[in-house]
């Protein structure tokens, strides 16, 4: 994702933050809210990755403790010609993964224990290549700041329910406006997150397939994750839906309210594009052939255009 799109997203969420402040306290409330949003943006730039990793109880790994998982990431990093990110493991049975960090030099990738237990080595490589593509495309800054701001917007809206609905002359819409804000503000924040998620995930799928050299590995991994994730709880994600867009597949249960606003494109569509890409590369099926971690795969346009 380019820098313009990153700035546009953050500006939209910041404006939403200011609008909520206006509904709570009029012009004064808007100024205060924009000040808080600016401080939140600055704090998130430097610390959002640490917050998200801590939220999910992620534990750091190294070459000694990370075993084959760490070695897979190392091999992919060599192929991609990227700096080595920090590698984390999350104790959670739901198969999933995400990347975070403000730039490729300060990035981290994390996978759940469920992902490492349910997927083959090749499928894990496909998933982690996808996450490294997010890092390479600098999507991770947008993803982490968006999660922080969207969560802050929800908290501010709830704050307004208790403190902004009384006989306050600074509040232009009174109690009705506050109630509408509490209902609509989190939805608006989610819609802003959704606005760019399709392009971001498709690009990371393509970039990850180019890093690993095997689009079929990621396609197979997405099939397995999509089948297992809806049946397994990720309680931290359910409590913090603003972070859902960071994962390779939506960790929220479809039956929840948040499931109405999916942050990811259709998994079937993603798999279809990866299968087309594999066919264009002359890959039919299965895991035949050795995985060469030394030479990056040349870029291809494929079904993404």
The two structure tokens encoding residue 154? 């929800």
The arrangement of strands across the sheet holding 86-90 comes to 59-61, 86-90, 107-112, 97-101
Q: Which of 69, 45, 56, 47 is nearest to 131 (CA)?
A: 69
Q: Is the dihedral of CA 228, 233, 236, 241 positive or negative?
A: positive
Q: How far apart are CA 246 and CA 78, in angstroms?
A: 24
The two structure tokens encoding residue 280? 């264009």
Active site residue 131: yes
Q: Coil, strand, or helix at residue 108?
A: strand
Q: How far apart are CA 217 and CA 75, in angstroms?
A: 15
Q: Coil, strand, or helix at residue 195?
A: helix
Q: Note the residue count of the chain.
A: 305
Q: How far apart are CA 82 and CA 167, in angstroms?
A: 57
E-strand ranges in the chain read: 59-61, 86-90, 97-101, 107-112
Please enumerate in sequence order all residues whose Cβ is within 8 A of that of 230, keeping only pairs 6 or more positions apart, or say none: 253, 254
Q: How far apart are CA 4 and CA 22, in angstroms?
A: 27
Q: How many helices (H) does the chain have, and how many strands (E)?
A: 10, 4
CB 112 within 8 A of CB 96: yes
**Counting beta carbons within 10 angstroms of the beta carbon of residue 268, is it exposed (0 to 12), middle (13 to 18) or buried (19 or more)?**
exposed
Q: Which of 122, 131, 201, 210 is catalytic?
A: 131
Active site residues: 131
């Amino acid at each position: 994702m380019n820098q313009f799109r990153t700035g546009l997203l953050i500006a939209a969420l910041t404006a939403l933050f200011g609008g909520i402040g206006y509904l709570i306290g009029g012009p004064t409330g808007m100024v205060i809210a924009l000040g808080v949003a600016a401080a939140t943006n600055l704090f998130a730039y430097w610390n959002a990755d640490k917050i998200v990793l801590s939220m999910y109880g992620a534990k750091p790994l190294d070459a000694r403790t990370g075993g084959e998982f760490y070695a897979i990431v190392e091999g992919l990093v060599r192929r991609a010609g990227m700096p080595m990110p920090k590698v984390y493991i999350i104790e959670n049975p739901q198969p999933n993964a995400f990347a975070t960090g403000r730039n490729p030099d300060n990035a981290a990738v994390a996978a759940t224990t469920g992902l490492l237990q349910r997927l083959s080595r090749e499928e894990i490589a496909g998933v982690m290549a996808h996450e490294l593509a997010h890092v390479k495309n600098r999507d991770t800054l947008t993803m982490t700041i968006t999660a922080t701001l969207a969560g802050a917007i929800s908290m501010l809206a709830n704050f307004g329910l208790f403190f902004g609905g009384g006989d306050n002359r600074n509040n232009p819409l009174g109690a009705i406006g506050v109630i509408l804000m509490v209902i609509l503000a989190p939805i608006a924040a989610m819609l802003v997150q959704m606005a760019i998620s399709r392009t971001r995930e498709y690009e990371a799928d393509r970039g990850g397939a180019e890093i690993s050299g095997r689009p079929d590995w990621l396609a197979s991994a997405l099939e397995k994750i999509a089948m297992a994730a809806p049946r397994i709880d990720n309680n931290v994600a359910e409590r913090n839906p603003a972070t859902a867009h960071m994962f390779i597949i939506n960790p929220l249960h479809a039956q929840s309210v948040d499931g109405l606003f999916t942050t990811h494109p259709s998994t079937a569509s993603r798999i279809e594009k990866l299968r087309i890409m594999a066919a264009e590369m002359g890959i039919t099926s299965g895991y035949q052939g050795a995985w060469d971690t030394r030479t990056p795969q040349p870029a291809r346009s494929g079904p993404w255009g």
